[in-house]
Chain A
Amino acid sequence: MLPPRVAFALPPRAGVGFKPEHFDDVMALRPAVGFFEIHAENYMGEGGPPHRRLEALRTLYPLSLHGVGLSIGGPRPLDGEHLKRLAALRRRYEPGLFSEHLAWSSHDEGFLDDLLPLPYTQETLQVVCDHIDETQAAVGRMLLENPSTYVRFAESDIPEVEFLAEIVRRTGCGLLLDVNNIEVQAANHGFDAQTYLDAFPLVAVEEVHLAGYAEARDDSGHELRIDAHDSPVRAAVWALYRRVIARIGPTPTLIEWDNDVPDWATLHAEARRADQQARKPAHV
């Protein structure tokens, strides 16, 4: 008999990225967090402790399935075997949401293990939409995440927010709004974060990501922000987040902390902070 489990849908509150080192604390404390998000590729082994932990976790919390390796934003055909693995995980764990990135990670060289940028043109828009159609046919409806990028292509002639809006219009997918990625790109590409946000197709946003970025400065003093996921959420990101929630209402919101992972109490406090921020009035 299957164990009893909680509702599949993600509640409109904060969740956290699941880390195996927090498993014992989570099972002992049963903390009040909205959901746990997992990186799909970490659960593509046949069995073992990762699946044992996830089976236990899903009886207590809704899950969100987040892929980091499908390479939707590249010119090459999607890996059909990878789509099958994603579909199998979705069937087995019944996550409330499934999301992937506007990025590529595989090419002739193999899998490069990074979220790499693409030009925004009519040609690339069609390829990305075809890949999303194929993914949604194989795995089910998905959310697409706005990227963090460190370079831009000179040939891009469609603004990123319009590129995302058109993908939504053509494919029916939803969007995952990573607020930290806006702050990272605003500094790296010299645009205003609020202006970007105001032009973002917020009506399609079904999940929000929050994280900490790192700062580097080159010899000539140019600031470069890195999407490091290794620290607390920055004040400017919280301010932007309040603006998002004021516009779209409470929304499932993930704290991403994947490197220099803190203890459970610190991570949980960051999730509680997101819930508090979502209740604060924002100046829209």
Chain B
Amino acid sequence: MFEAAISAFARALTDPAAPPPEALSGSHPRGFAVYRNNVAVSLIKSLEARYPVVRRLVGDDFFRATARAFIARHKPQNAVLILYGGAFPAFLRAFPPAAEMLYLADVAALENGWVEAYHAAEAAPLTLAAQAQIDSERLEGLRFQFHPATRLLRTATPAASIWAAHQSEGEPQPPAHWTPEDALITRPEAQVLVRVLPPGGYDLLAALRAGATLGEAAAPLIAAGGDPGAHLVGLIEAGAVSALL
């Protein structure tokens, strides 16, 4: 009986065309609609909180309709809603009504990375002073342990610039150059940092992140006439590294 009553209730909640379950006879005529509304709205609010720039880019109505379509396919699998909605960028990439806005899924990926960095585990970041203590001859053979909050993001659109332009109130300016961007997201202390990486930075960092030694990771950059030093200073200065091993 219990199982049947709750299953019928849950089915009717998520089907707007279904009448209230018969088991509720004698209840307030509008009572069931309150639950239906709560369930529809509360998960949309979670997505609005996680993707504020995407919401601004498309407007409230489009965002709500998109969120509803996402929720219908992706219910949270547990009660930890601060971790819910990580699949939204991939959903946007394949969502036909958003197909014209290629930057939308990229901005969503950045916002998702921001929230993941916000809630990531704590670790002491490696300082430039500590790095300077390391014998420069040893450096080439070392591997980088990244801070748990660190994320790398490569986008075909200037997603980081679009995101940055929406961090203050007022009319956001469009990006000066419509080019692909690489971004570094991390949170060594209480503030999440988002930096656009200079050319060559992403491949170096991605190789280090995949477990290469500094010598291995930097070889292509050096062969192309680049200087890994500036990239590494930027990386450590951002607090994106927790140790050199």
A residues with CB within 8 A of B: 41-42, 44-52, 68-71, 74-75, 79, 81-82, 85, 104-114, 116, 118-119, 121, 123-124, 127, 149-155, 188-189, 216, 218, 220, 222, 224, 226
A149: nearest chain-B partner, CB-CB: B31
Q: Given the complex, which residues of B lie within 8 Å of A71, measured CB to CB?
A: 79
Q: How far is the CB of B29 from chain A (nearest CB, A)?
A: 6
Please state if B118 and A48 are interface contacts (CB–CB under 8 Å).
Answer: yes
Q: Given the complex, which residues of B lie within 8 Å of A151, measured CB to CB?
A: 20, 24, 27-28, 31-32, 35
Please state if B35 and A150 are interface contacts (CB–CB under 8 Å).
Answer: yes
Pairs across A and B, CB under 8 Å, 18 listed = A48-B118, A48-B120, A48-B149, A68-B79, A71-B79, A75-B6, A82-B78, A82-B80, A108-B7, A113-B81, A114-B42, A116-B9, A150-B30, A151-B31, A152-B27, A155-B23, A188-B31, A222-B29
Complex CA gap A272/B38 in Å reads: 31
B residues with CB within 8 A of A: 1-3, 5-7, 9-10, 13-14, 20, 22-32, 34-35, 38-39, 42-43, 46, 75-83, 117-122, 148-149, 187, 190
From known contacts A47-B119, A116-B9, A151-B31, infer whether A70 and B2 are also in contact, taking CB-CB under 8 Å.
no
Complex CA gap A114/B79 in Å reads: 10
Q: How far is the CB of B45 from chain A (nearest CB, A)?
A: 9
A71: nearest chain-B partner, CB-CB: B79
Please state if B121 and A114 are interface contacts (CB–CB under 8 Å).
Answer: no
Which are the 5 A-B pairs with shortest beta-carbon distances? A69-B79, A110-B75, A45-B119, A150-B31, A151-B27
Q: Given the complex, which residues of B lie within 8 Å of A222, measured CB to CB?
A: 28-30
From known contacts A110-B76, A111-B77, A112-B13, infer whether A47 and B122 are also in contact, taking CB-CB under 8 Å.
yes
Q: Which of B22, B34, B82 contacts A45 (CB 8 A)?
A: B82
Complex CA gap A104/B9 in Å reads: 11
From known contacts A110-B76, A154-B24, A188-B28, infer whether A124 and B119 are also in contact, taking CB-CB under 8 Å.
no
A48-B119, A74-B6, A151-B32 given; 9 more Cβ-contact pairs under 8 Å: A50-B82, A50-B119, A70-B79, A107-B10, A112-B14, A114-B39, A114-B42, A151-B31, A151-B35
Complex CA gap A66/B119 in Å reads: 20
Q: Which of A110, A119, A218 contacts B2 (CB 8 A)?
A: A119
Complex CA gap A45/B14 in Å reads: 28
